[in-house]
Amino acid sequence: MRVLVTGGAGFIGANFVHQTVRERPDVHVTVLDALTYAGDEASLADVADAITFVRGDVADAEVVDRLVADADLVVHFAAESHNDNSLSDPWPFVQTNVIGTFTLLEAVRRHGVRYHHISTDEVYGDLELDDPAKFTDQTPYNPSSPYSSTKASSDLLVRAWVRSFGVQATISNCSNNYGPYQHVEKFIPRQITNLVDGVRPKLYGTGQNVRDWIHVEDHNTAVWAIVERGEIGQTYLIGADGEVDNKTVVETLLELMGQDRDAYDLVSDRPGHDLRYAIDATRLRTELGWRPQYGSFRDGLAATVEWYRANEAWWRPRKDATEAKYATLGR
């Protein structure tokens, strides 16, 4: 099988590539990545000899058409994904998330290639902290940021291309990922790397916002389950019952790294900060038989702490610039 992975030098995509090379020797992987600030070819260094890497933009129709024509499957991870960045400059999110997805859909339509679309639970908006409900594939879209609105737009394009043109596609909307190779601007790796540097963690607002966390390796096993056994045209929600508020995440990290659980600071909340996400992954579990490998969020978090401790050479070059940007925002 020949698989084109867009955004394969980014966080989730790079982990997908590593996992595929490790566990599926019959699959040849081609990575298409523009290597924007969130993508790094160094994330693929350990598998560089086993894959084909192409530097390019998913919105470049000529490059996309050439690569899709030579693929059996496209797994589309490429996305601008940082909420804070979408508030300061929305255009790259429209360019990559909307136009890039359109470009890929047209290519897979021309060449009859199977397509899987990676999306986010943020397209559904947020839930109240005391609401027992969870997101399902029937939850109406209610995005609240330029990032989530462009991801919602791309999901709707996929659905329309399935219905209108018969494109062989599936969609997955996943809860918050964590694990190796995640950019240090993101919540969990930022706190871990701050603690490595002796800097107190920072929490937006009061830290009560809840995310439904899943280790990236569990996410990617679910993607393969959907690719291999999922029903064309269906949306599958990927989650591991990992609802934890941000305060608890920071306190757990402090404990895992040998510090007092209250050794953190509160900073002003960010605009439009969603309250709570929660995924109902029933369809994925009952129809496809998928289960997460990590037994608890704490287990996955401990493994992630050890990865960042052992791989300082990977994250250190990004750290100073990231913290300088946050300093201008007072965060």
Residues that are catalytic? 121-122, 147
In degrees to the nearest 10, what's the CA dihedral of 314, 317, 320, 323? -40
Long-range contacts of residues 14-18, Cβ cutoff 8 Å, at least 24 apart: 14/43, 14/44, 14/181, 15/179, 15/180, 15/181, 15/216, 15/217, 15/220, 16/75, 16/77, 16/220, 16/223, 17/44, 17/47, 17/51, 18/44, 18/46, 18/47
Residue with tokens 């797994």: 75
Q: Which of 166, 141, 281, 139 is nearest to 212 (CA)?
A: 281
Buried b (16+ CB within 10 A) or exposed e, 142-170: ebbbbbbbbbbbbbebbbebbeeeebbbb
Of 139, 154, 130, which is closest to residue 6 (Cα–Cα)?
A: 154
Q: What is the largest CA-CA distance in the chain?
A: 57
Q: State the Cα angle at 110 between 106 and 112, rounded to 5°.
A: 110
Q: Are 172 and 235 in contact (CB under 8 A)?
A: yes
Q: Is 85 helix (H, G, I), strand (E, B) or coil?
A: helix
Question: Which conformational region is residue 228 in: left (phi greater than 0), alpha (psi within -120 to 50 degrees), or beta?
Answer: alpha
Alpha carbons 168 and 273: distance in angstroms, whole number: 35
